[in-house]
Every structure is written in C-alpha cells, then in structure tokens.
Amino acid sequence: MSANSVKRILSDINNLTEHPLDSEGIYWHVNQENIYDFRALIIGPKGTPYQGGFYFFEFTIPQSYPLEPPKAKYCTQFNDIRFNPNLYTNGTVCLSILNTWAGPSWTPCNTLSSILMSLLGLVFVEHPLVNEPGFENSDDYTLGSYDSIIEHESFRGAVLYMLEHIVPGFEMFQSKIEQYFIKHYDEYREHVLYLKKYKDKRSYSLGVYSISLSTNYGNIMGELTAKYQKLTGIEFPEFSETTVQKLRKIAEGLNVDTKKTDSKGKKKVYKLKKELYDDIKMVKSS
C-alpha cells in the first residue's frame, strides 16, 4: 500500500462521513480490509427516467491515487439494456472526471465525493440520450422514446430485479434499498399508476442502441404490490399512507351529529360520505 494514497482515501472517507450525500440519494461503503475497494449506490432522482431505481457502482482505487482516478464499473445490469450513453452493458463508465470521456479530466483536487456527485449530475438526467454524441439536438420524439424505455426498464430492472437479486458484492446495501422501497412505496405506486394511465401498452424503439419495448405497467404494478406485501406483511398495500391520510381527512368531516344539524348540515354529511365511498371505489379499482 502507498502511504500517500491511504492517507488521501481516509481523508475522502472522513469527508463523506462528515458531509453525507444521503439527501442526494447517494450511499457508499468502503471495504475495511481493503480500502482501495469502494462501492456506491445512487438512487435515481425524481424527474428523471431513473426515478427510484437502485444503481450500483464499484470503484477500484489505484495506489497512485489521487494522482490518478479510480477505475469505475457500472453494476446494475438488466436484459442488456443500455441505461445511459455513459453506462455500458460491459460495466464501462464513461465520464471525463474518470479520464474515460472527453471533457474536463481528473485532477488531484477531485475526491470520491466529487465523483459521486458528477455521476448523479451528469448521468442521471432528465433526457439521457443527449449525452450520446450526435443526439444533443434530437427531436422530442427520439428523446422521449429513449426516456420511456429507460423509465419502464428502470422499474423492472433497477427496482424490482435489484430488490430480488441484488448484485453480488453489494449485499451491504440490501437493507437500505428495502427500507427505501417501503418508505417510498406510495411514490412508486403513484408514479406507476400515472404511467399506466398514459403510457401503458405502447411500443417504443430506438435504432441507436437497437432496443425496442412494449410497455406493461399493469404487470409492474402487480409486482410492486407483491414485493411490498412480502417485505411488510401488509395485506392491502393499495391503501397507501397517502390514500389513508386523504380518507381519514374526509372521515373526520363525518364526525357530525346529524340530529343536531339542519338540512344544510345533513346534506354536507351525505356529500362527504359519497366522497369517501367514491375514494374507496377508486382505490379498489386501481
């Protein structure tokens, strides 16, 4: 081991400990027996096709660090889908800060934290196809087709498949992704139901990566529900916390003694009852 590299790695780790990136959806782990082995989880940010997905990266730090950057490997693989122009199905990560892509290259001023933030800000973006040379000014249909493919496969591969088959060597993140999924189940459900309404049973294709897809958000919703039931033991996850709060608020309005109210007050109670019943029917049919 190089004393200089060890000292610098420990400094980077200390910085990540004092300034965690949890709020950005970034989590990390360093091998206590080999600090040159660093691993990370990036949870896809909202407003992108990667929303809620679990994306894993393995970093091998050279003994020349920080004079040279770590070697990165992208590990969330599923059905040979090219999830991003910068992320290859063979695990290659193309990023200028890692000296694997054109642009501002690595300098010793960079850190493990800056690498992770660069991945988040430059790779997990709203329209990832613009990262592919020659597609920077693509039309909305082309960009949208790739977005829709990644959005669908992120649920299948980066959420459901990773929950069930986490990448070997990343087991230390298993409880983290399960806890995140349970805590944010309402958001997953709401998003999938929205996509089921507007993007279900549609076909997309993209020549640049020779990928095509027919969406099936009904299946995804069923798998999300089954996974939530398995992890929590809750029999009716369709009554999510958001829905329960809404129904509870309506129910509070029913706490009225109709014998002491005039006809106007009774009409209000009956109206609230109808809203409650309608909401329950909506939840059951979704």
What domain range includes position 275? 241-285
Q: Which residue has the higher pLDDT, 11 or 242?
A: 11
Q: Would you state the pLDDT for residue 278?
A: 63
Choose the final residue of a domain: 187, 205, 232.
Answer: 232
- Active site members: 94
91 shares its domain with 201: yes
279 shares its domain with 195: no
Cβ 59 vs Cβ 72: under 8 Å: yes
157 shares its domain with 92: yes
Choose the final residue of a domain: 232, 254, 276.
Answer: 232
202 shares its domain with 228: yes
42 shares its domain with 156: yes
Q: Which amino acid is at 23?
A: S
Residue 139 belongs to a domain with what CATH number?
3.10.110.10
129 shares its domain with 202: yes
pTM for the full model? 0.84
Count of structural domains, the chain: 2
3-state secondary structure the chain: CCHHHHHHHHHHHHHHHHCCCHHHCEEEEECCCCCCEEEEEEECCCCCCCCCCEEEEEEECCCCCCCCCCEEEECCCCCCCCCECCECCCCEECCHHHCCCCCCCCCCCCCHHHHHHHHHHHCCCCCHHHHCCCCCCCCHHHHHHHHHHHHHHHHHHHHHHHHHCCCCCCHHHHHHHHHHHHHCHHHHHHHHHHHHHHHCCCEEEECCCCEEEECCHHHHHHHHHHHHHHHHCCCCCCCCHHHHHHHHHHHHCCCCCHHHCCHHHHHHHHHHHHHHHHHHHHHHHC
Q: Would you state the pLDDT for residue 1?
A: 75
141 shares its domain with 222: yes
Query: CB neighbours of 164 closer than 8 A, spacing ≥ 6?
Result: 227
269 shares its domain with 203: no
185 shares its domain with 255: no
Q: Would you state the pLDDT for residue 94?
A: 97
Using one digit for the tens of pLDDT, what is the confidence trace for 211-253? Answer: 999 999 999 999 999 999 999 988 766 655 555 566 666 666 6
